[in-house]
Structure 1
Amino acid sequence: MSQNTEPREQWASRLGFILAAMGSAVGLGNIWRFSYVTGENGGAAFLIIYLLCILLIGIPIIMAEFTIGRKAQSDTVGAFTKLAPGTPWVLAGILGVASAFIILSFYGVVAGWTMRYFLGYLTGQLWSAPEGGYADFFVGFISSPVQPILWQFIFMALTIGIVFVGVKNGIEKTNKILMPLLAIILIILAGYSLTLGGAAEGLAFLFTPDWSAFAEPGVYLAALGQAFFSLSLGMGALITYGSYLSSKEKLPGAAGSVAVLDTLFAIIAGIMIFPAVFAFGIDPASGAGLAFITLPDIFAQMGLGGFFGLLFFFLLAAAALSSAVSLLEVAVAYFIRKFDWTRKKASIIVGFIIFLVGVPSSLGIGPLSNITIVGGRDILDSMDFIASNIFLPLGGLIIALFVGWGWKKTEVLEASDFGSSGLGQVWLFILRFVAPIAILIIFISSIRQW
């Protein structure tokens, strides 16, 4: 007998849906990852290419995912099974669930670090440099065999708790609080950063392009990879969220809102970070350590630095939480349908499995640091590479091809709310030709980096 008699949930409001989809997109990818990837790839040149990727590929694929989800009213695997039964298109859904498992496994580790730092600022421990400096503190913490796993567990327990409660009362309500709060904190921090001595240099780095960087193939690779990671493309999150949407809502406006707000978040994060980096003479390409070593050092030298550190790490942890919820929901929605589980059972079992899958990523920086998987990368970086550079682009490619070629044109245009408008024709053209070619080029370049 079926134990899951719950009706399919829906969003309570359009705003709730947009904030939840934005919560999926706005995460560590916008703040922590965007900052160091921009720094490593020449600043403004990267930003211009990134914006083009969002416009030409990001928004059309968001629209494609929303259209698939709402039409099918099912999880990411069930959606393809329903719309194209017995065909290989279902591979996109399977890749989505696999990506959710892999990304959340290592994402939970890094998010756990942000929670540890938040506690450090909350108690005052990190308001001034610990003995040996912030670099020693960070390396000591992440290489510990126990501490990072404990914080990863706490973060995953929070994520499971929100998904456990449901779509309206858990995911939607959380994002209605977190997203406006994050926007306010980000604007306060960016405003303060502009009062520092490095504002002119930081803004020039972010907004004045070095034209020679456009000749670097790696910048294009990084920009499209960042667009996919930041917008949550190809992982089934937006298909899953779209499936809880009623047919009354118009999709093009929602897709545009999510992309614009997500991109604004990333740019304001750049305005927050780069003036501070230049004011204190830090290399903007200082990699992933930017958030955990460089910025705490800067906060320690600022008036009210401890307070700003507290705000910054709350911002990081909360942004990570909103994205982690969407990743867990992809897998949970699949298990609810596939195995006829209740939401509560699926949330706990799937969340705990993902936590266990993430433990090697955590230990890979400490006790298992001698293990490398992909091209000399440690376990965490290998998981990131496999998901961000292989699974997500492949998922996005199949989604674009399915909507562009595998689904009847009249049905697609009707389901997307474009109807017979010219915009709908442009959208289909991009999904048929522009997006697949761009994604394939990036994908082949990624494989060469293996």
Structure 2
Amino acid sequence: MDNKRDQWGTKLGFIVAAIGSAVGLGNIWRFPYLVYENGGGAFLVPYFFAIFTAGIPLLILEYGMGHKFKGSTPLAMARANKKWEWLGWWPSITAFFILGYYSMILSWAMKYFTLSFSKGWGSDPNSYFYNDFLKLTDSPFQFGTVVWSILIGILLVWGISWFICYKGVKGGIEKLNKVLLPALVIIMIVIVLKGITLEGATLGLNKLFTPDWSKVMEPKVWIAAYGQVFYSLSLAMGIMMTYSSYLPKKTDINNSAFMTAFANCGFEFLCSIGVFAILGFMATSQGVGIEEVVSSGIGLAFIVFPKVFSVMGSWGTILGCLFFACLFFAGLTSCVSLVEAVSSAIIDKTGWERKKVVSGIALLGVVMSSIFASGAGLYILDIMDNFINCYGIVVVGLLEAIVIGWIIKAETIRNHTNKMSYFRIGKWWNFTVKFITPIMLAIMLISNFVTEIKTPYGGYNLTELLAYGWSVVGLGIIGAILFSRRPWKNKEIEKFEEVSKEEVV
């Protein structure tokens, strides 16, 4: 086995990096809206059920695979079963595509951070965002002109991500997360403390957490809960197996998975309180119902919140700067983890130096991301994100659970993690990995596909969905198969098998 493989400086460094990867934009702008839409406080029932039957079991599974087989996702899968190496490459390729539009959103956050000082979005944040800032065209194939402010931001994001990963696991990723994650939490706490003191904050919080128990009986609410847990923990993206492969031999795997899941969960609740307290203030100040100001995703961050900050005076300036810094920090920790998932796979496969691989990925990434700095950027982001989440990541997660649960054997991974951990997991884990998780992910996949057939996503035409959606999923699969057919440099798999036999003897 390769003794030169990078390692985390401390277990805390790994935990912080894993939490940093999990804590992303979805925690801030997706989770609060999901709770509001799906029964308020009642949503917490399917949400916590999903954490215990999918989130934590899959985290233990990915941590266990990465740690036992000591490799990036493709190498770990290949060492476990050579026939399934391609399943490790698919999420690694998908991670690269995600970086394309993630870098654009972080570019927006940087720009809006600077705008916050003067409330540069003006009196109509909606018009400013779509027309003045994005220069949005009429269709996904109408590219318009290059939006230089976005392109420069994309270059900066890739430059920072390159520098961190270039410095390595201990010297770059671990150090970054030890600074950014505490900063992120502190900023969000400040936003929450100010938010709950605003007039009308209780209106928003009551609307958010008042339970509607009838919603718990709706299947779509359970699908939403599983989807949120699955996406927000960075599962099936090649990240967690890669990160756990850098752990020392003796590490508490099970406890690490629980800590990561609950820390991510806690940050989601913190974000929800801050977001809905501020939305309650906005509804009260405008004399309208909370449902008229509630939004999710990009609209919440770049249109609704700027409207709020505009009417808050000097506090609006402070909260605006903090909010967009928070978005940037949350996105950057996730961005770095995606770069590492891609680069680690290539380093393992080729034996090339980390610095060369990271530099090559950054250059390719800049070229790919530049398409998002056009007038069609938002459309491309919208389509790609939907298809990657609904079909790419869900299918990888489903196959992971089936392959590792039934072929590699769940018991193999459970025995390994229990041997390493103070807290032992029982056979309930085998059952969730082999049955509950695959069933729920299959239901999600079928539901997404049926919805897609009935109503094509976002009102786009078939050509647009094929060009930016289905093609990305297809490229992930084709690329995975092609990469898996290339030989491993330095016979990585054989070396590992020899060491494993020695350990058994």
**Structure 1 and Structure 2 fold alike (TM over 0.5):** yes
Q: What's the CA shift for 1:130? A: 3.8
Cα pair 2:58 2:433 within 8 Å, conserved = yes
Match of 1:77 in 2: 74
Q: What's the CA shift for 1:408? A: 4.1
- Does 1:21 pair with 2:29? no
- Does 1:10 pair with 2:4? no
Match of 1:413 in 2: 414
- Give, in whole Å, the separation in 1 of the partners of 2:118 and 2:400: 47
> C-alpha offsets along residues 132-153 of structure 1, whole Å, 9 cap, x if unaligned?
4222221121236322222122
Change (3 A) 1:253 1:367: closer
What amino acid sits opposite 1:255 in the alignment? A
Match of 2:340 in 1: 329
Cα pair 1:252 1:416 within 8 Å, conserved = yes
What amino acid sits opposite 2:349 in the alignment? K
Match of 2:64 in 1: 67
- Give, in whole Å, the separation in 1 of the partners of 2:18 and 2:42: 28
- Give, in whole Å, the separation in 1 of the partners of 2:306 and 2:96: 31
What amino acid sits opposite 2:432 in the alignment? I
- Give, in whole Å, the separation in 2 of the partners of 1:117 and 1:47: 32
Match of 1:171 in 2: 173
- Give, in whole Å, the separation in 2 of the partners of 1:149 and 1:43: 39
Q: What's the CA shift for 1:349? A: 1.1
- Give, in whole Å, the separation in 1 of the partners of 2:81 and 2:202: 54
Match of 2:351 in 1: 340
Q: What's the CA shift for 1:40? A: 4.5
Match of 1:315 in 2: 326
**2:195 aligned to which of 186, 193, 201:** 193
Q: What's the CA shift for 1:410? A: 4.8
**2:102 aligned to which of 98, 107, 117:** 107
> C-alpha offsets along residues 322-370 of structure 1, whole Å, 9 cap, x if unaligned?
000011101000111222221111111112223332333443xx2477x
**1:291 aligned to which of 284, 290, 301:** 301
Deviates more, 1:382-391 or 1:351-360: 351-360
- Give, in whole Å, the separation in 2 of the partners of 1:406 and 1:216: 33
Cα pair 1:138 1:292 within 8 Å, conserved = yes
TM-score normalised by length of structure 2 = 0.80
Identical aligned residues as a percent: 37
Q: What's the CA shift for 1:8? A: 0.6
> C-alpha offsets along residues 400-447 of structure 1, whole Å, 9 cap, x if unaligned?
223321224553222112689973311111001110101100111111
Cα pair 1:32 1:316 within 8 Å, conserved = no
> C-alpha offsets along residues 243-289 of structure 1, whole Å, 9 cap, x if unaligned?
00112111111000000000111110000000110121153542331
Cα pair 1:44 1:205 within 8 Å, conserved = no
3-state SS, counterpart of residue 111 of structure 2: helix
- Give, in whole Å, the separation in 2 of the partners of 1:260 and 1:71: 24
> C-alpha offsets along residues 29-69 of structure 1, whole Å, 9 cap, x if unaligned?
21123234444445434444333222211010000000000
Change (3 A) 1:155 1:59: same
- Give, in whole Å, the separation in 2 of the partners of 1:410 and 1:115: 46
- Does 1:119 pair with 2:141? no
Unaligned runs of 5+ in 1: 370-377
What amino acid sits opposite 1:134 in the alignment? P
3-state SS, counterpart of residue 341 of structure 1: coil
Match of 2:135 in 1: 143
- Does 1:400 pair with 2:392? no
Change (3 A) 1:228 1:66: same
Pair member with larger Rg = 2
Match of 1:240 in 2: 242
Match of 2:466 in 1: none
- Give, in whole Å, the separation in 2 of the partners of 1:276 and 1:31: 13
**2:367 aligned to which of 356, 365, 370:** 356
- Give, in whole Å, the separation in 1 of the partners of 2:101 and 2:45: 29
> C-alpha offsets along residues 73-132 of structure 1, whole Å, 9 cap, x if unaligned?
1111111111112x2x324312211220121111111111111111223xx222xx6444
Match of 1:437 in 2: 439
- Give, in whole Å, the separation in 2 of the partners of 1:6 and 1:56: 35
Change (3 A) 1:249 1:6: closer
- Give, in whole Å, the separation in 2 of the partners of 1:163 and 1:59: 27
Match of 2:456 in 1: none
- Give, in whole Å, the separation in 1 of the partners of 2:218 and 2:414: 37
Pairing of 1:221-236 with structure 2 (within 5 A)? 221-236=223-238
Deviates more, 1:303-312 or 1:320-329: 303-312
Cα pair 2:202 2:277 within 8 Å, conserved = yes
- Give, in whole Å, the separation in 1 of the partners of 2:212 and 2:241: 37
**2:54 aligned to which of 57, 62, 67:** 57
- Give, in whole Å, the separation in 2 of the partners of 1:422 and 1:155: 41
What amino acid sits opposite 1:295 in the alignment? F
- Give, in whole Å, the separation in 1 of the partners of 2:266 and 2:377: 38
- Give, in whole Å, the separation in 2 of the partners of 1:150 and 1:182: 24
- Give, in whole Å, the separation in 1 of the partners of 2:417 and 2:346: 27
3-state SS, counterpart of residue 211 of structure 2: coil
- Give, in whole Å, the separation in 2 of the partners of 1:384 and 1:409: 31
Change (3 A) 1:368 1:27: closer
Match of 1:373 in 2: none
- Give, in whole Å, the separation in 2 of the partners of 1:352 and 1:194: 44
Pairing of 1:275-290 with structure 2 (within 5 A)? 275-281=277-283, 283=292, 285-288=294-297, 289-290=299-300
How many residues were matched structurally?
430
Deviates more, 1:207-216 or 1:188-197: 207-216
- Give, in whole Å, the separation in 1 of the partners of 2:260 and 2:41: 22
Cα pair 1:404 1:428 within 8 Å, conserved = yes
> C-alpha offsets along residues 368-413 of structure 1, whole Å, 9 cap, x if unaligned?
77xxxxxxxx321111112111111112112222332122455322
- Give, in whole Å, the separation in 2 of the partners of 1:222 and 1:112: 28
TM-score normalised by length of structure 1 = 0.90
Change (3 A) 1:137 1:36: farther
